[in-house]
Amino acid sequence: MEHTRRNKIVDLLKSKDFGSEVIVKGWVRAKRGSKYVNFIALNDGSVIHHLQVVAEVANFDENLLKSVTNGSCIAVKGILVESKGQGQSVEIQARHIEIYGTADQETYPLQTKEHGWEFLRGIAHLRPRTNTFGAVLRIRHAMSFAIHKYFNDHGFYYIHTPIITGSDAEGAGAMFRVTTLDDKNPPLLPDGHVDYAQDFFGKETNLTVSGQLEAELGAMALSLVYTFGPTFRAENSNTPRHLAEFWMIEPEMAFYDIVDDMDLAEDFLKYLMQYALDHCHDDLEFLNKVNEMQDNELIDRLKQVVGGTFERLTYTEAIEILKASGQTWEYPVDWGTDLQAEHERYLVEKHFGKPVILTGYPKDIKAFYMKMNEDGKTVRAMDVLFPKIGEIIGGSQREENLDALLGRIHEMNIPEKDVWWYLDTRKFGTAPHAGFGLGFERLILFVTGMSNIRDVIPFPRTPKNAEF
């Protein structure tokens, strides 16, 4: 069968070109039928829906039809006709079927019955062939595209920040070391420590936890920049919201203060929700019905975010609300301690019933680069908290004053030699600026209504798990 021409199922399902000859290629999701006719549900990934292929048994070799099983890959040439069956508008009357790849029914792991999420994680190489993961992957694509479109349309430049880094100034989490030294016999210093001067880069290097510090360098020349890349954190966090490898979007804006930063974050998130509503309709409809929560509220939640305004308050005000709530917490609420997911979700889901932006966090629980408030105790941080997710964005106005920044660096025992290049931006033409980081998978969790972050990235990396 011709290899170049293929009609995508997404186009055929909208077509009214009845009687025309078409070629479809895809994976069989189900086959049923009688002695006389087989109905094959075919999916090519272009859309959540399957195309029904009707094969009259008499017109085909018996063995060929037997090989058309769940999971096999086939090409079908046939005639597009209006469907008399329920649930579909068109179908294909098959004239010719070619089998690209069979799938042994004894060993093919994806049966038509429902599978548990944990089982599907064990077959992450095949789970894109399920309806749910197909939908998640298409939405993931659409959100990536929308992110680039938003920033491009708003005059931001995409800057590629390094993945291998020689600094751990951010302190956002434990890091994964990158080395080519012989692990059995590494060169040692007299004190017994590994001599990284002899390593590939001539110093100790790790996978980055964030592209922010380098994005700031870009913003000090191009004004508006963003990064969108993988980041790595070696924390032993086995939660439904943490990955060891996740993607982050980090815009960085010269001449923005903390309010501009919040305005951008809110506008950006609303744009992404609206984009999903506009472009991912069929996948959202599907997830709305079948997502794990089965709450049928996914689309409503997206619309609520787009239609409402985010509640803005300070950390200190939030602590007062949490203390007065009468709730019993797993983690106690005290001014100066970091908020846990239970606190964040209480504020968002119970108290305000909408997304919340918290500002003015205690300086001791935030990074060195955040701009100090006049009180000397809190910094111009902002975290955006979302229903069902908790923290989806973390950001801040940056400390642009060299002396103030040096003070923080010394307080936190960060070696100046590790960040000399960062400090240079404060020496040469410093400017007020701000930025934030959006966790891409947390965004996808919210937009798809999935409840475990391992199910919104194709191949999750978590403690003790780097298969595929």
The backbone torsions φ and ψ at residue 244, rounded to the nearest 5 degrees and listed phi first, read: -80, -25
Report the side by side order of strands in the sheet with 164-165. 164-165, 205-207, 177-178
Burial degree of 402 (CB within 10 A; 0-12, 13-18, 19+): middle
Residues 388-407 that bind Mg ion (CB under 5 A): 394
Q: Does 370 bind ligand 4AD (CB under 6 A)?
A: no
In the bound complex, what is the minimum distance in angstroms from residue 394's beta carbon to Mg ion? Answer: 3
Which one of Mg ion, ligand 4AD, none is in contact with 400 (Cβ closer than 5 to 8 A by kind)? none
Residue 24 vs 272, nearer CB to ligand 4AD: 272
DSSP state of 203: S
If one counts every other C-beta atom within 10 angstroms of the C-beta of residue 328, the result is 6
H or E segment to which residue 101 belongs: strand 90-101
Q: Does 172 bind ligand 4AD (CB under 6 A)?
A: yes
Q: Which position's Cβ is nearest Mg ion?
A: 394
Sign (positive or negative) of CA dihedral 63, 66, 69, 74: positive
Whether residue 72 contacts residue 101, with contact meaning beta carbons closer than 8 Å, is answered with yes
Which one of Mg ion, ligand 4AD, none is in contact with 360 (Cβ closer than 5 to 8 A by kind)? none
Q: Does 437 bind ligand 4AD (CB under 6 A)?
A: yes
Residue 147 vs 248, nearer CB to Mg ion: 248
Question: Which x/- pattern, by CB under 6 A, does the window 57-86 give for ligand 4AD?
Answer: ------------------------------
Residue 44 vs 214, nearer CB to ligand 4AD: 214
In the bound complex, what is the minimum distance in angstroms from residue 107's beta carbon to ligand 4AD? Answer: 34
Q: Does 439 bind ligand 4AD (CB under 6 A)?
A: yes
**What tokens were used for 85?**
């069956």
Question: Which x/- pattern, by CB under 6 A, does the window 377-416 give for ligand 4AD?
Answer: --------------xxxxxx--------------------
Residue 210 vs 448, nearer CB to ligand 4AD: 210
Residues 176-215 that bind ligand 4AD (CB under 6 A): 210, 212
> Degrees (nearest 5) of the Cα angle 363, 367, 368?
85
**What tokens were used for 462?**
């978590």
Q: Could you tell me which of 463, 456, 464, 465 has the C-alpha nearest to residue 127?
A: 456
Q: Does 435 bind ligand 4AD (CB under 6 A)?
A: yes
In the bound complex, what is the minimum distance in angstroms from residue 197's beta carbon to ligand 4AD? Answer: 29
Q: Does 439 bind Mg ion (CB under 5 A)?
A: no
Q: Which long-range contacts (CB under 8 A, 24 or more apart) does 343-350 make?
A: 343/318, 344/383, 344/385, 344/390, 344/391, 345/385, 345/387, 345/388, 345/390, 346/322, 347/318, 347/321, 347/322, 347/385, 348/385, 348/386, 348/387, 348/390, 349/387, 349/388, 350/325
Which one of ligand 4AD, Mg ion, none is in contact with 178 (Cβ closer than 5 to 8 A by kind)? none
Q: Does 132 bind ligand 4AD (CB under 6 A)?
A: no
Contacts with ligand 4AD, residue ranges (CB under 6 A): 170, 172, 210, 212, 233, 242-243, 246, 248, 250, 391-396, 435-437, 439, 441-442
